[in-house]
Structure 1
Amino acid sequence: MRRLPPLGAIEAFVQVARLGSVKAAADELALSAPALSRRVQALERFIDKPLFARRHQAMVLNGDGERLLAQIAPVLDALSDAVEAMTSGTEVLRLRLGILPLFASQRLFPRLGELRATHPELHLDIDTAGHGVARLGDGLDAVIALARDIDPTLYAKRLDRNSVYVIGAKSLLEGPNAVTRPAQLAELTALVHRDMPDTFTAWRQSAGLTSLEPLAIDHFDSGPLMLEAAAQGLGIAFMHASHFEDANDPRLVRLFDIPVESPYSYWFVCRPRALQQKPVKLFHDWLIATLGEDR
């Protein structure tokens, strides 16, 4: 049998690659930073190639490192799952799911009890960090993404179609300066999610107000914080109808009854071969039956 590098060296390499920091990876593996560095260096000596570009307080994968990570990270994850299943005494199926916090809190988590009752052996590791689609196969098995469309080389199933709403504080409809006309947007700050950068433009075009400019545009990477900012009167949020309806926040109102189809949808995304994995297939089938657009 071909000789393999020590498992500890492989584990150290994967953790540093995923976290980008020797210190963070050492904390994760309960090692000292020098001990972890020695493990990574041992792997580099074994394959006789550097795997990282070393920068101040950061470790960035080079080309060889990226290729190695893509091949061994899924295998290491599968090995970890197999050991967990054996030591727990029961079958454990683990899905590493990338998801946006707002979709998770509004639409997925209220239904997870049904999933647990149907598949008690299936457990989810939730990852709300960004760029989930790009990390498929590298720590993530599947992603629920918000996007215009998905790379055709990936498997994707659309979960919804939506409308763009203009969402603001209820107080905006009160008093002598109540906001009732789109032209008044010139006096307000627009709140836009970084994953939905074209919502304001799509709404403005559909409303026939192509020259309209808000006072400013503030960008968020958190849907819940956008809704809270709107409720606090810090601006008006350009978000989906489902975000407004699922929030059910009495402090918020929809402004301007103008129908605008959103260019964005939520999608279930994974690599095609991942559907052959039992955890991915179980979750996919349950999700589509429960939350899919054709349910």
Structure 2
Amino acid sequence: MRRLPPLSAIEAFVQVARLGSVKAAAGELSLSSPALSRRVQTLERFLDRQLFERRHHAMVLTADGESLLAKIAGPIDELSNAIEATTGAQDLMRLRLGVLPLFASQRLIGSLPELREEHPDLHIDIDTAAHGTSRLGDGLDAAITLAQSIDPALYARKIDHNIIAPIASKELLANGKPITDPRQLSDLTILLHRDMPETFRHWAKAIGLSDLQPGTEDHFDSGQLMLDAAAQGLGVAFMLDSHLQDAHDDRLTRLFDHDVESAYSYWFSCRPSALQTKPVRLFHDWLFANVCRQTAVKDGARPIPEAA
């Protein structure tokens, strides 16, 4: 039987080929970039073939590399599945999910019993710390984040299209001086989330009031606290219309009639290879079938990577 190259070198080659980046592949395999590069070089020396063209921030397969990937990617995945089945890893599926606290409380937790009933073997570890996308492959399998855009190296799908909503206490409107004109915000405090700092500027520009300056700006790192502050009459919270709808708080109302699409949206994201794993794929499909609004599935998604 002919001697084979190290399995670790083959695994490194497949990950780099699929992700197109040493850094991304290193994250998937919990290695440093230099260590992963050495594994790829080991395979190239063994085969006496150059498998990649090294470009700035990218690794592009050569013809030899493409030929090798086509032949071994399937068997490697079958081997991985066989190992999982043998060790019993498939008996219990676990998803490590990063999600913002407000999305989790308003839209996710209440629907999880349905997910548990549909997939009783799927268990979810929920992490509400910030910077979810930066920790994908390093503690997180998938993340639901609020952002303007997602790193193009990741698989990403937009969850909602949202309108910016100036949210205020109904009592603020009943104090004898109703707020009917956006220019009145020059005498009021506005509340902004640190993850959505440009929301007010974007809204003011869209309605033709680029020079509008609020009385003051208060910043929060918690969406729920923003809603509570607005309900207490502490200011006008510039958030998303979904935040108001899902709050189900009779103390709150939306000001003005301007429909301005937000530059910020909720996104589901993961590493492309992660979407090929059963826990991530099951949760992804369930999320967009049961939790997300129907307008979200029309666009805003990158092509789903096909399983090798």
| 2:268 pairs with 1:294 | no
In 2, Cα distance between the equivalents of 1:219 and 1:137? 30
Deviations 1:135-173 (A, max 9, x none): 101100000111111111100111110100100111111
Aligned to 2:179: 179
In 2, Cα distance between the equivalents of 1:68 and 1:147? 25
Cα distance, 1:198–1:140 mapped onto 2, change above 3 Å: same
In 1, Cα distance between the equivalents of 2:142 and 2:175? 48
Aligned to 1:128: 128
1:175: how far off? 2.7
TM-score (norm 1): 0.70
Aligned to 2:228: 228
Cα distance, 1:68–1:284 mapped onto 2, change above 3 Å: closer
In 2, Cα distance between the equivalents of 1:119 and 1:235? 43
| 2:276 pairs with 1:276 | yes
In 2, Cα distance between the equivalents of 1:253 and 1:285? 33
Contact 1:159–1:291, Cα closer than 8 Å, also in 2: no
Cα distance, 1:162–1:282 mapped onto 2, change above 3 Å: same
Aligned to 2:30: 72
Deviations 1:1-35 (A, max 9, x none): x9xxxxxxxxxxxxxxxxxxxxxxxxxxxxxxxxx
Determine helix, strand or coil for the equivalent of 1:272.
coil
Aligned to 2:43: none
In 1, Cα distance between the equivalents of 2:144 and 2:164? 19
1:108: how far off? 1.2
Deviations 1:182-202 (A, max 9, x none): 111011111111111111011
Cα distance, 1:104–1:203 mapped onto 2, change above 3 Å: same
Contact 2:111–2:291, Cα closer than 8 Å, also in 1: no
Deviations 1:42-61 (A, max 9, x none): xxxxxxxxxxxxxxxxxxxx
Contact 2:98–2:128, Cα closer than 8 Å, also in 1: yes
TM-score (norm 2): 0.67
In 1, Cα distance between the equivalents of 2:158 and 2:287? 11
In 2, Cα distance between the equivalents of 1:234 and 1:156? 36
Aligned to 2:203: 203
In 2, Cα distance between the equivalents of 1:191 and 1:175? 20
Deviations 1:41-89 (A, max 9, x none): xxxxxxxxxxxxxxxxxxxxxxxxxx9876438xxxx9xxx7xx859xx
1:291: how far off? 2.8
| 2:164 pairs with 1:164 | yes
Aligned to 1:256: 256
In 2, Cα distance between the equivalents of 1:129 and 1:69? 19
1:294: how far off? 2.2
1:114: how far off? 1.0
Deviations 1:246-268 (A, max 9, x none): 11111111111111111111111
Contact 1:148–1:263, Cα closer than 8 Å, also in 2: yes
In 2, Cα distance between the equivalents of 1:111 and 1:175? 38
In 2, Cα distance between the equivalents of 1:95 and 1:220? 29
Instruction: Give the counterpart letter for 1:247 in structure 2.
Output: A
Cα distance, 1:286–1:70 mapped onto 2, change above 3 Å: closer
- Number of corresponding residues: 221
Contact 1:182–1:256, Cα closer than 8 Å, also in 2: yes
In 1, Cα distance between the equivalents of 2:171 and 2:112? 35
Question: Identity of counterpart residues, as a percentage?
Answer: 57
In 2, Cα distance between the equivalents of 1:96 and 1:266? 18
Gapped regions of structure 1 (runs ≥ 5): 3-66
In 1, Cα distance between the equivalents of 2:26 and 2:183? 55
In 1, Cα distance between the equivalents of 2:229 and 2:103? 18
